[in-house]
Amino acid sequence: MTFETLLAIVLLAIALSMDAFAVSISEGLTCCDLNKKRMFFIAITFGVFQALMPLIGYFIVELVTVLIGQGGGAQAGRIMEIAVAWIAFGLLMFLGIKMIKEAHKGIGRQCDIEGAKVFHIRPILIMGIATSIDALATGVSLHAGISNNVTVWLHASMIIAITFIICLLGLFLAQQIIKLFGNKTEAATLIGGIILVALAIWIIVSHYVL
């Protein structure tokens, strides 16, 4: 493997991890009872989903190609790219608006406030899916010629490692932001919601415009 190929894999992994990085900041801003163990859980969950989705996209196209030919695989890839963009948009927009409403109601990060957001595994899993589902389309691109059935696993390994590290950085950055806000917990929740809404809009803009 050449240096250029390895660099391309690393850059792809960094690009894919940016969604998870933004949501990690959002989670760090709004979850009132995070500790290091929970932060590691969030980072590894986002990393696993971010690596899993391109694999799923890649092998779905591979399966369709084997069953009905190259043309069918290409068509399935195009349909998948459109579908996952709108699914990701819907999930992130819903979660972002929900957080903005919570900020408007005065629900912040203080755990002694009724309705405050505390750590639960299920929402983290939903966030992991929401931030990574658009990476299914990356699997389509990998199948189009920049990877094969062997090197796709190297892509996945690099994605999970880099996403894990970047998400941890996002969570620790959020903790520093919280220290700056002090008791302005509703503002932190509002920022978290705005991040998710902006990310949802970016997914659609990047799909149709860029």
- pLDDT for 104-159, tens place per residue? 776 555 555 555 567 888 889 988 988 888 788 777 777 666 666 677 888 889 99
**pLDDT score recorded for residue 88:** 80
Tokens of 156: 């996945």
User: Given a cut of 90, is residue 168 above it in pLDDT?
Assistant: yes
| pLDDT tens-digit series, residues 90-115 | 888 888 888 788 777 765 555 555 55
What's the Cα-to-Cα distance from 124 to each of 78, 99, 197, rounded to whole Å?
29, 14, 17
Number of domains in the chain: 1
Please count the CA atoms within 13 angstroms of the CA of 93 that sit on its side-chain side.
11
**pLDDT score recorded for residue 181:** 66
Task: Tell which wins on pLDDT, 89 or 210.
Answer: 89
**pLDDT score recorded for residue 178:** 76
User: Given a cut of 70, is residue 51 above it in pLDDT?
Assistant: yes
| pLDDT tens-digit series, residues 11-49 | 888 888 888 898 898 888 778 778 899 999 999 999 999
Banded model confidence at residue 182, pLDDT cuts 50, 70, 90: low
Residues 30, 189 contacting (CB under 8 angstroms): yes
Range of the domain at 161: 3-208
Tokens of 49: 């989903």
**pLDDT score recorded for residue 113:** 53
**pLDDT score recorded for residue 77:** 66
Residues 108, 191 contacting (CB under 8 angstroms): no
User: Given a cut of 60, is residue 184 above it in pLDDT?
Assistant: no
**pLDDT score recorded for residue 208:** 73
**pLDDT score recorded for residue 151:** 77
Residue 108 identity (one-letter amino acid) = G
Residues 80, 140 contacting (CB under 8 angstroms): yes
User: Given a cut of 70, is residue 166 above it in pLDDT?
Assistant: yes
